[in-house]
Amino acid sequence: MSRRSVSGSDRARQVLAQEAARIICEQGIEDYRLAKIKAAERLGMSEHGALPGNPEIEQAISEHLALFGRESHSSLLQTLRQSAISAMHLLTDYTPRLVGPVLNGTAGETSAVNLHVFADSPEQVAWTLDESRVLYRPFERRYKSRRNQTSRFAAFRFNHDDASIEATVFPFDGIRQAPISPIDGKPMQRADLRAVRALVDC
């Protein structure tokens, strides 16, 4: 294969990654594959070709946010992380951990604050929310806990401190092993309350 064709392929992947990043940031789509397919359709490219990997999409998201809203994005991250701290206080009995875009800095206007909490049962978390008079909606989230093994977890979605919070409930021993990230295939990064406070204060 010639250098020109390799370069062209790389350029196509870059352009598609940038368009997917724009779709994710502007439309609040969380499914990277869906965003890539939409981007390919918009650009008139085949979705069956060499689509950019999820790490490439995440990098493009970071670049998009830095280019089109550096100060406003920084302010948004601070606000969302402060909301995360408040929600973590609310769920302090369940050893909350912050995960996802609010932690890694790729959150947009429509991003939720994603928390992992740990309890004997989801009903315990629901009881805490009820006691705090928090209106919530239960839902189910799927995570890959091992290679090619997907598990289902109960989760709760609610508004708190002007942010959308999504708290996924794991068993107590789930704190020892984070689920697999759909971005890079590695264990998801988790941050405790102290680490989140450090992000806000830095």
Q: pTM score, two decimals?
A: 0.79
pLDDT class of 46 with cuts at 50, 70, 90? low
Please state the rounded mean pLDDT for residues 182-200.
92
pLDDT for 2 beyond 60? no
User: Distance between the two ends of the chain, CA-based, in angstroms?
Assistant: 48
18-34 residue pLDDT tens? 888 888 777 767 777 88
What does CATH list as the number for 71-201? 3.30.460
66-100 residue pLDDT tens? 776 666 788 889 999 999 999 999 999 999 999 99
120-170 residue pLDDT tens? 999 999 999 999 999 999 999 999 877 678 999 999 999 999 899 999 999
137 strand-pairing partners: 157
pLDDT for 54 beyond 70? yes
Which pair of tokens denotes residue 7? 């370069």
Q: How many CB atoms lie within 10 A of CB 63?
A: 13
Residue 164: which H helix or E strand, with range? strand 163-170
Segments making up each domain of the chain, as ranges:
3-52, 71-201
